Chain A
């Protein structure tokens, strides 16, 4: 089976079969990553450019490693090193990249829709590595992969996402992805962090975290940006931690087998207590490991690669 699309810009509108294909392919690549030499020659001769207009460690390194494990040539550009700092427009950046005949462009940008802008003007495959408060599809996919790895399927699972939903691209991609594969999603946040009309996405909404996480199979904790407490969103981070933080007391009441996830980076002591982040329920580092396999799968499939019976061709 092949992935019939040029770009991966978001999980909204992605078909269940597409998501499953990517997760299955990621499973095959995860096996590759366990090998003594975790590298395949699949994308030899192809070139990927990682264009990161926003600071990122794990996503950027994860993509770079995925490209290297597939034997693609790759170049990474951070905003501070790019001509954008000299005032070059995104359009000129695209034109230059187009002229250099690249195959993949992985882009992170603070403006929602920036990857769409690039994708419509570039022949190369564009992968959204996070655009503003819009989507972060590979994060959503690696979260799905991690959940499926533990539970085997999504049927009947109840996933609770806690935190700043309003500004979170991770929350959006996860809502779209999880809903498509059949999980139930509850969003839990202060009212100021819940976009108006969010229920239209087919999710349940709860503002009492203790009620929300009761009986949950997965609790995904979102990062709270410290500057939000100045933006009339929160009185103080201290109050947020008290009302919504996943502390040990709350974690102890979770049902057995419940996973705790976080896309990172973590504000220890704000949205999650260190003991919980590092505790037995936490799969935060598994998410990071799985990220490489999922990104290998996405790049491979967008290059036209096929998968048969879980074997990467």
Chain B
């Protein structure tokens, strides 16, 4: 099957491409890029004036919940949600039940993804056996089975000696050690950012320092071990400052943040909405602004959703009792376009870079991009298409979004993945599940 995308803004920052033109996909490969293309045969023509055609997005931080919590999400539903959000590849975190700390577990994820999902899944293995923080997992085995990185996400590796060894050991495989930077002894059962809002709401606070001291320590250990450290979900201005200093000193340190930290602040917790309860917590406007600046200037390399599905009944409880986390795959682009690009905080090419080549590079993933002869891995979106977030229309099994009812700008029109074209049902209403999906 051949598709001719006509008149789109072709955007591939890694290749320096930003121009209006056509693009032809045939047999799962990009045949021609740019200019006005007149194709032989009868390719399906997609009028894409006003739309952006970019490499399919890469989300390096997703929770798929399978194995163990298939009521919250499965590999199938999570990958469908990813496709609906414009992602061609996602990395899934190992804090499942059982955790992904063995070859068998990594292989299970890869096999299920192969059977079930439209998008590529890159499993992340555990740093420590059982995520217990006591001894290293069999990292070599995990990598051989297909793990793209290691992380004990959800928990920080408290022992500095063990973290040092993890960073040293992982060097042999050239994979990043992804840290969930949170000293829980300092968080002390907190449920939101410690500050003026927690004072007003009477909720236990998590100080910014529980993140900052953890990043600071891990950066020191990465330097000692000469290892590759990736800091997950940075939420604080001071955390950004630590990453900035590490980079200035030439250390192999990278970082990500999530759309909700770039869009929201702790002020939006005034109504005790558990769909805004995340870990790390939503911080202050100063933190959010520092994160926006750090994404713009590259200190934060990538944006990842930290898609964390939880069933409705688990969130419909007292704030203290609700689990942390929000879903993010299906709203990421629109949130980022609405809160960052349209608001003038970030140019679109930099956003696309944060969602494509930057995470791909950290994960060691070969990103085909907009190059002739490359495998098709493309997303087409309308940056002006607006829609009201209706969680009942999500592909994800869970509905825990902080953006319910909000009008956002940015609609995914299609995803081209090899020989497949996936057209998510329009978020603005109507349609069916993946009506044009082919060769699933």
Interchain CA distance A280-B194 in the complex, whole Å: 41
Cβ contact within 8 Å between A132 and B203: yes
Binds A, one of B236-244, B314-322, B328-336, B421-429: B314-322
Cβ contacts B311-350/A at 8 Å (1 or 0 each): 0010011111100000000000000000000000000000
Nearest CB on B from A309, distance (A): 36
> Among B196, B317, B319, which residue has its beta carbon within 8 angstroms of that of A89?
B317
Please name the residue on chain B nearest to A198 by beta carbon.
Answer: B199
Please name the residue on chain B nearest to A110 by beta carbon.
Answer: B320
B173 at the interface (CB under 8 A from A): no
Which residues does chain A contribute within 8 Å of B205, judged by CB atoms?
195-196
Binds B, one of A17-25, A113-121, A143-151, A246-254: A113-121
Interchain CA distance A235-B288 in the complex, whole Å: 37
Cβ contacts A127-151/B at 8 Å (1 or 0 each): 0000111110000000000000000
- Take A89-B313, A113-B319, A132-B320 as given contacts and tell me if A195 and B199 are in contact as well, using a CB distance cutoff of 8 Å: yes
Nearest CB on A from B351, distance (A): 34
Which residues does chain B contribute within 8 Å of A198, judged by CB atoms?
199
- Take A90-B318, A112-B319, A113-B201 as given contacts and tell me if A197 and B196 are in contact as well, using a CB distance cutoff of 8 Å: yes
A12 at the interface (CB under 8 A from B): yes
Which residues does chain A contribute within 8 Å of B202, judged by CB atoms?
112-113, 131-135, 169, 172
Interchain CA distance A117-B320 in the complex, whole Å: 12
Please name the residue on chain A nearest to B191 by beta carbon.
Answer: A112
B195 at the interface (CB under 8 A from A): yes
Please name the residue on chain A nearest to B200 by beta carbon.
Answer: A12
Number of A-B contacts (CB under 8 A): 64
Cβ contact within 8 Å between A200 and B318: no
Cβ contacts B262-303/A at 8 Å (1 or 0 each): 000000000110000000000000000000000000000000
A14 at the interface (CB under 8 A from B): no
Which residues does chain B contribute within 8 Å of A116, judged by CB atoms?
271-272
Which residues does chain B contribute within 8 Å of A90, judged by CB atoms?
317-318
> Among B196, B271, B320, which residue has its beta carbon within 8 angstroms of that of A111?
B320
Cβ contact within 8 Å between A109 and B318: yes
Nearest CB on B from A43, distance (A): 29
Cβ contact within 8 Å between A201 and B199: yes
Nearest CB on A from B148, distance (A): 38
A40 at the interface (CB under 8 A from B): no
Which chain B residues (165-203) contact chain A, with CB distance < 8 Å?
194-196, 198-203
Which residues does chain A contribute within 8 Å of B321, judged by CB atoms?
111
A91 at the interface (CB under 8 A from B): yes
B132 at the interface (CB under 8 A from A): no
Cβ contacts A280-310/B at 8 Å (1 or 0 each): 0000000000000000000000000000000
Interchain CA distance A197-B197 in the complex, whole Å: 10
Cβ contact within 8 Å between A111 and B201: no
Cβ contact within 8 Å between B195 and A113: no
Please name the residue on chain A nearest to B185 by beta carbon.
Answer: A232
Residue from B204, B205, B271, B320 having most chain A Cβ neighbours under 10 A: B320
Cβ contacts A20-56/B at 8 Å (1 or 0 each): 0000000000000000000000000000000000000
Nearest CB on A from B405, distance (A): 14
Interchain CA distance A109-B202 in the complex, whole Å: 12
Nearest CB on B from A53, distance (A): 9
Interchain CA distance A112-B318 in the complex, whole Å: 8
Which residues does chain B contribute within 8 Å of A196, judged by CB atoms?
194-195, 199, 205, 207
Cβ contacts A179-193/B at 8 Å (1 or 0 each): 000000000000000
Cβ contact within 8 Å between A113 and B316: no
Cβ contact within 8 Å between A117 and B195: no
Nearest CB on B from A97, distance (A): 15
Nearest CB on B from A304, distance (A): 25
- Take A89-B313, A91-B316, A91-B317 as given contacts and tell me if A113 and B203 are in contact as well, using a CB distance cutoff of 8 Å: yes
Residue from B198, B202, B272 having most chain A Cβ neighbours under 10 A: B202
Nearest CB on B from A301, distance (A): 24
Interchain CA distance A291-B207 in the complex, whole Å: 37
Nearest CB on A from B156, distance (A): 20
Residue from A90, A91, A113, A172 having most chain B Cβ neighbours under 10 A: A113
Which residues does chain A contribute within 8 Å of B313, judged by CB atoms?
89, 91
> Among B194, B201, B207, which residue has its beta carbon within 8 angstroms of that of A134?
B201
Interchain CA distance A284-B336 in the complex, whole Å: 56
Cβ contacts A71-108/B at 8 Å (1 or 0 each): 00000000000000000011100000000000000000
Which residues does chain B contribute within 8 Å of A117, judged by CB atoms?
272, 317-319
Interchain CA distance A175-B204 in the complex, whole Å: 19
Interchain CA distance A195-B318 in the complex, whole Å: 22
Which residues does chain A contribute within 8 Å of B194, judged by CB atoms?
196
Which chain B residues (209-234) contact chain A, with CB distance < 8 Å?
none
Nearest CB on B from A103, distance (A): 23
Residue pairs across A and B with Cβ atoms less than 8 A apart, 22 shown, are A89-B313, A112-B201, A112-B203, A112-B320, A113-B202, A113-B203, A116-B272, A117-B272, A117-B319, A120-B271, A132-B202, A132-B203, A134-B202, A134-B203, A169-B202, A195-B198, A195-B199, A196-B194, A196-B199, A198-B199, A200-B199, A201-B199
Known: A172-B202, A196-B194, A200-B199. 13 other contacts (CB 8 A): A12-B200, A89-B317, A91-B317, A109-B318, A112-B202, A114-B318, A120-B271, A132-B202, A134-B203, A195-B198, A196-B199, A196-B207, A197-B195
Instruction: Pick the 3 closest A-B CB pairs, nearest first.
Output: A134-B202, A113-B272, A111-B318
